Structure 1
Protein backbone atom coordinates (compact mmCIF):
# COMPACT_ATOMS: atom_id res chain seq x y z
CA UNK A 1 0.00 0.00 0.00
CA UNK A 2 -0.77 2.69 -0.99
CA UNK A 3 -2.62 2.72 -4.27
CA UNK A 4 -2.07 6.14 -5.84
CA UNK A 5 -4.34 6.84 -8.80
CA UNK A 6 -4.15 10.00 -10.87
CA UNK A 7 -7.21 10.86 -12.92
CA UNK A 8 -6.30 13.66 -15.29
CA UNK A 9 -7.59 15.57 -18.27
CA UNK A 10 -6.07 14.07 -21.40
CA UNK A 11 -5.01 17.52 -22.64
CA UNK A 12 -2.14 17.19 -20.16
CA UNK A 13 -0.56 14.32 -22.11
CA UNK A 14 1.21 16.81 -24.36
CA UNK A 15 2.04 19.20 -21.53
CA UNK A 16 3.28 17.08 -18.60
CA UNK A 17 5.48 14.01 -18.23
CA UNK A 18 2.88 11.79 -16.57
CA UNK A 19 5.34 8.91 -16.12
CA UNK A 20 7.76 11.32 -14.46
CA UNK A 21 4.97 12.47 -12.15
CA UNK A 22 4.24 8.83 -11.23
CA UNK A 23 7.90 8.32 -10.33
CA UNK A 24 7.95 11.54 -8.28
CA UNK A 25 4.87 10.47 -6.32
CA UNK A 26 6.25 6.96 -5.78
CA UNK A 27 9.48 8.44 -4.47
CA UNK A 28 7.62 10.87 -2.20
CA UNK A 29 5.47 8.08 -0.78
CA UNK A 30 8.51 5.89 -0.14
CA UNK A 31 10.43 8.76 1.48
CA UNK A 32 7.74 9.16 4.14
CA UNK A 33 8.78 5.84 5.68
CA UNK A 34 5.06 5.12 6.13
CA UNK A 35 4.66 2.86 3.11
CA UNK A 36 6.76 -0.18 2.22
CA UNK A 37 8.29 0.54 -1.22
CA UNK A 38 7.29 -2.90 -2.52
CA UNK A 39 3.64 -2.07 -1.90
CA UNK A 40 3.48 1.34 -3.56
CA UNK A 41 1.41 1.40 -6.77
CA UNK A 42 1.05 4.54 -8.88
CA UNK A 43 -1.10 4.66 -12.00
CA UNK A 44 -2.82 7.18 -14.23
CA UNK A 45 -6.20 7.29 -15.90
CA UNK A 46 -6.65 9.82 -18.71
CA UNK A 47 -10.12 11.35 -18.92
CA UNK A 48 -10.94 12.07 -22.54
CA UNK A 49 -14.25 13.84 -21.95
CA UNK A 50 -13.91 16.69 -19.49
CA UNK A 51 -15.86 19.85 -18.76
CA UNK A 52 -14.22 22.15 -16.21
CA UNK A 53 -15.69 25.43 -14.98
CA UNK A 54 -16.76 27.38 -18.09
CA UNK A 55 -15.92 24.50 -20.43
CA UNK A 56 -12.78 26.04 -21.91
CA UNK A 57 -10.88 23.07 -23.40
CA UNK A 58 -7.56 24.54 -22.21
CA UNK A 59 -8.48 23.86 -18.58
CA UNK A 60 -6.73 20.85 -17.08
CA UNK A 61 -6.81 18.85 -13.89
CA UNK A 62 -5.13 16.09 -11.94
CA UNK A 63 -7.08 14.47 -9.13
CA UNK A 64 -4.93 12.20 -6.96
CA UNK A 65 -6.59 9.45 -4.97
CA UNK A 66 -4.52 7.69 -2.32
CA UNK A 67 -6.07 4.53 -0.90
CA UNK A 68 -4.33 2.71 1.92
CA UNK A 69 -4.86 -0.04 4.42
CA UNK A 70 -6.45 1.19 7.64
CA UNK A 71 -4.51 1.38 10.87
CA UNK A 72 -2.35 4.47 10.53
CA UNK A 73 -2.86 7.45 12.81
CA UNK A 74 -4.55 10.58 11.56
CA UNK A 75 -1.31 12.53 11.97
CA UNK A 76 0.66 9.93 9.99
CA UNK A 77 -1.89 10.04 7.17
CA UNK A 78 -1.90 13.86 7.17
CA UNK A 79 1.89 13.98 6.94
CA UNK A 80 1.95 11.39 4.15
CA UNK A 81 -0.81 13.20 2.22
CA UNK A 82 1.11 16.47 2.59
CA UNK A 83 4.35 14.88 1.32
CA UNK A 84 2.69 13.34 -1.73
CA UNK A 85 0.74 16.53 -2.51
CA UNK A 86 3.90 18.61 -2.11
CA UNK A 87 5.69 16.41 -4.67
CA UNK A 88 2.77 16.78 -7.09
CA UNK A 89 2.63 20.54 -6.54
CA UNK A 90 6.36 20.93 -7.18
CA UNK A 91 6.22 18.71 -10.28
CA UNK A 92 3.31 20.67 -11.80
CA UNK A 93 4.30 24.18 -10.63
CA UNK A 94 5.55 25.43 -13.99
CA UNK A 95 2.43 24.17 -15.73
CA UNK A 96 0.18 25.71 -13.05
CA UNK A 97 1.93 29.07 -13.48
CA UNK A 98 1.29 29.16 -17.23
CA UNK A 99 -2.04 27.34 -17.71
CA UNK A 100 -5.50 27.01 -16.17
CA UNK A 101 -4.99 23.93 -14.02
CA UNK A 102 -6.50 22.27 -10.93
CA UNK A 103 -4.65 19.85 -8.64
CA UNK A 104 -6.28 17.89 -5.83
CA UNK A 105 -5.54 14.94 -3.56
CA UNK A 106 -7.68 12.80 -1.28
CA UNK A 107 -6.41 10.04 1.00
CA UNK A 108 -8.75 7.39 2.38
CA UNK A 109 -8.61 4.05 4.13
CA UNK A 110 -9.53 0.78 2.45
CA UNK A 111 -12.00 -1.33 4.40
CA UNK A 112 -9.94 -4.46 5.17
CA UNK A 113 -13.06 -6.60 5.51
CA UNK A 114 -13.98 -5.85 1.91
CA UNK A 115 -10.54 -5.93 0.33
CA UNK A 116 -8.97 -8.97 -1.34
CA UNK A 117 -5.53 -9.16 -2.92
CA UNK A 118 -2.80 -11.50 -4.04
CA UNK A 119 0.55 -10.82 -5.67
CA UNK A 120 3.79 -12.41 -6.81
CA UNK A 121 5.63 -9.10 -7.29
CA UNK A 122 7.74 -9.41 -4.13
CA UNK A 123 9.19 -12.63 -5.59
CA UNK A 124 10.77 -10.52 -8.33
CA UNK A 125 12.08 -7.57 -6.29
CA UNK A 126 15.58 -7.09 -4.91
CA UNK A 127 15.85 -8.48 -1.37
CA UNK A 128 16.23 -5.02 0.21
CA UNK A 129 12.89 -3.97 -1.25
CA UNK A 130 10.76 -7.07 -0.70
Structure 2
Protein backbone atom coordinates (compact mmCIF):
# COMPACT_ATOMS: atom_id res chain seq x y z
CA UNK A 1 0.00 0.00 0.00
CA UNK A 2 1.97 2.96 -1.18
CA UNK A 3 -0.63 5.68 -1.66
CA UNK A 4 0.68 9.12 -2.56
CA UNK A 5 -1.70 11.97 -1.91
CA UNK A 6 -0.71 15.25 -3.54
CA UNK A 7 -2.41 18.47 -2.57
CA UNK A 8 -1.49 21.69 -4.34
CA UNK A 9 -2.51 25.30 -4.72
CA UNK A 10 -4.83 25.69 -7.69
CA UNK A 11 -2.75 28.49 -9.21
CA UNK A 12 0.17 26.05 -9.54
CA UNK A 13 -1.46 24.69 -12.70
CA UNK A 14 -0.57 27.96 -14.46
CA UNK A 15 3.09 26.91 -14.27
CA UNK A 16 3.14 23.11 -13.97
CA UNK A 17 1.45 20.13 -15.57
CA UNK A 18 0.45 18.28 -12.41
CA UNK A 19 0.00 15.07 -14.43
CA UNK A 20 3.75 15.21 -15.18
CA UNK A 21 4.46 15.50 -11.45
CA UNK A 22 2.22 12.49 -10.78
CA UNK A 23 3.98 10.50 -13.50
CA UNK A 24 7.43 11.36 -12.09
CA UNK A 25 6.33 10.21 -8.64
CA UNK A 26 4.71 7.03 -9.98
CA UNK A 27 7.82 6.09 -11.96
CA UNK A 28 9.94 6.19 -8.80
CA UNK A 29 7.40 4.17 -6.84
CA UNK A 30 6.83 1.64 -9.64
CA UNK A 31 10.54 0.89 -9.98
CA UNK A 32 11.19 0.58 -6.25
CA UNK A 33 11.13 -3.00 -4.90
CA UNK A 34 9.88 -1.59 -1.60
CA UNK A 35 6.42 -0.95 -3.05
CA UNK A 36 4.16 -3.56 -4.67
CA UNK A 37 2.97 -2.16 -7.98
CA UNK A 38 -0.61 -3.33 -7.40
CA UNK A 39 -0.83 -1.13 -4.32
CA UNK A 40 0.47 2.07 -5.88
CA UNK A 41 -1.95 4.98 -6.01
CA UNK A 42 -0.98 8.52 -6.96
CA UNK A 43 -3.74 11.09 -6.50
CA UNK A 44 -3.53 14.86 -6.88
CA UNK A 45 -6.07 17.44 -5.80
CA UNK A 46 -6.08 21.21 -5.96
CA UNK A 47 -7.00 22.87 -2.68
CA UNK A 48 -10.24 24.74 -3.24
CA UNK A 49 -9.20 27.40 -0.76
CA UNK A 50 -5.74 28.13 0.55
CA UNK A 51 -3.52 30.83 1.92
CA UNK A 52 0.19 30.18 1.51
CA UNK A 53 2.72 31.79 3.88
CA UNK A 54 2.33 35.58 3.68
CA UNK A 55 -0.65 35.37 1.29
CA UNK A 56 1.40 36.76 -1.58
CA UNK A 57 -0.60 36.19 -4.78
CA UNK A 58 2.36 34.39 -6.43
CA UNK A 59 2.74 31.83 -3.61
CA UNK A 60 2.11 28.20 -4.51
CA UNK A 61 2.60 24.87 -2.77
CA UNK A 62 2.62 21.16 -3.40
CA UNK A 63 2.37 18.90 -0.35
CA UNK A 64 2.76 15.14 -0.62
CA UNK A 65 1.77 12.51 1.90
CA UNK A 66 2.87 8.95 1.23
CA UNK A 67 0.89 6.38 3.22
CA UNK A 68 2.50 2.96 3.48
CA UNK A 69 1.72 -0.27 5.25
CA UNK A 70 3.71 -0.98 8.37
CA UNK A 71 6.65 -3.36 8.49
CA UNK A 72 9.21 -1.60 6.30
CA UNK A 73 12.55 -0.57 7.75
CA UNK A 74 12.85 3.14 8.45
CA UNK A 75 16.11 3.35 6.50
CA UNK A 76 14.40 1.84 3.43
CA UNK A 77 11.49 4.28 3.73
CA UNK A 78 13.93 7.18 4.12
CA UNK A 79 15.82 6.13 0.98
CA UNK A 80 12.57 5.75 -0.98
CA UNK A 81 11.40 9.14 0.29
CA UNK A 82 14.70 10.69 -0.82
CA UNK A 83 14.24 9.25 -4.34
CA UNK A 84 10.61 10.33 -4.53
CA UNK A 85 11.34 13.84 -3.29
CA UNK A 86 14.24 14.23 -5.75
CA UNK A 87 12.08 13.12 -8.69
CA UNK A 88 9.34 15.60 -7.80
CA UNK A 89 11.92 18.34 -7.23
CA UNK A 90 13.21 17.72 -10.75
CA UNK A 91 9.66 17.89 -12.17
CA UNK A 92 9.14 21.16 -10.31
CA UNK A 93 12.58 22.69 -10.94
CA UNK A 94 11.19 25.81 -12.60
CA UNK A 95 8.83 26.79 -9.78
CA UNK A 96 11.37 25.79 -7.12
CA UNK A 97 13.74 28.35 -8.65
CA UNK A 98 11.25 31.11 -7.76
CA UNK A 99 10.90 32.54 -4.23
CA UNK A 100 7.18 31.77 -3.99
CA UNK A 101 6.95 27.99 -3.77
CA UNK A 102 6.82 25.37 -1.02
CA UNK A 103 7.30 21.63 -1.55
CA UNK A 104 6.92 18.98 1.15
CA UNK A 105 6.75 15.21 1.63
CA UNK A 106 5.68 13.23 4.68
CA UNK A 107 5.62 9.44 4.97
CA UNK A 108 3.00 7.88 7.24
CA UNK A 109 2.81 4.24 8.30
CA UNK A 110 -0.67 2.71 8.42
CA UNK A 111 -1.59 0.38 11.26
CA UNK A 112 -2.67 -2.86 9.53
CA UNK A 113 -5.27 -3.61 12.19
CA UNK A 114 -6.97 -0.29 11.47
CA UNK A 115 -6.90 -0.49 7.68
CA UNK A 116 -9.43 -2.33 5.52
CA UNK A 117 -8.97 -3.16 1.83
CA UNK A 118 -10.75 -5.14 -0.87
CA UNK A 119 -8.94 -5.00 -4.20
CA UNK A 120 -8.81 -7.67 -6.89
CA UNK A 121 -6.05 -5.66 -8.62
CA UNK A 122 -3.45 -7.44 -6.45
CA UNK A 123 -4.63 -10.86 -7.63
CA UNK A 124 -4.67 -9.78 -11.27
CA UNK A 125 -1.15 -8.37 -11.17
CA UNK A 126 0.28 -11.29 -9.22
CA UNK A 127 -0.78 -13.67 -12.05
CA UNK A 128 1.57 -11.93 -14.51
Q: Distance in 2 between matches of 1:103 and 1:88?
A: 9
Shift of 1:100: 1.0
Structure 1 residue runs without a partner (length 5+): none
Structure 2 residue runs without a partner (length 5+): none
The worse-fitting range, judged by mean Cα deviation, of 96-105 and 74-83 is 96-105
CA contact 1:32–1:83 (8 Å) conserved in 2: no
Paired position in structure 2 for 1:34? 34
Q: Distance in 2 between matches of 1:124 and 1:77?
A: 26
Number of equivalences: 128
Shift of 1:14: 2.1
Q: Deviations over 1:52-75 (max 9, x none)?
A: 121112100000000000000010
TM-score, normalisation: structure 1: 0.90
Q: Deviations over 1:22-45 (max 9, x none)?
A: 111011112222101121100011
Determine if the alignment matches structure 1 residue 68 to structure 2 residue 71: no
Task: Give the alignment's Cα RMSD to 1 decimal.
Answer: 1.6
